[in-house]
Structure 1
């Protein structure tokens, strides 16, 4: 595993947030279209007198639109599954790191998406008795050196 895959993972996390928002929006739109279709099927009610306002979708258009929207939802969900595969790969890489301290740094930086400064703060809180306090440069260099040694 190299740095490019870890950076790609970080970028994909942002994409997944957008994917989940789009999936939710599409499902809401499907429900709305379904409700509009059902509204168009209702009768006049109350004896059948009075004017009728036609609303909703024609059945053929509704079914085509619903089918295409579901196809798009499936495509987005497949992309989300790809992200989960990458997450699993990154988690396995981090678990294979020998030192607990380095595993924590990698988890905070890559999985939790903390900045180097925030990772250093968290590490200082976890290891308060350490003689040399963690700094953002210290954390950055340790991660870079580990990746260079692996690659």
Structure 2
């Protein structure tokens, strides 16, 4: 316990660095996975293909991906951008399936009620389906 008390500045500095490196990939991953998950949910023909491709992204070992990314994007090996891209790829792989499953979990009766009230497909998605799917999506973020 003495060590923690003596190194609070270091702990705060490293915690802030961790947040700087982890929050952008989660946000970018969500922004990419949201349309992919929606497409997988909305169009049954694309569900298998999109979720399989997302699953394949997750199978790429990080020790293989991290040295390959600098050659593709022209960044240095130790660049934070390199890490952000790699973590975004893994976030998309996890969140695409999570979002598709979350949208699938919304009660069809709720969708019908929103449509009966005159909601268009985009308005229904943003104001009804996405908020109701939110807890399942957040559960997928924990992974």
TM-score normalised according to structure 2 size: 0.31
TM-score normalised according to structure 1 size: 0.30
Larger radius of gyration: 1
Point out the structure with the larger helix share: 2
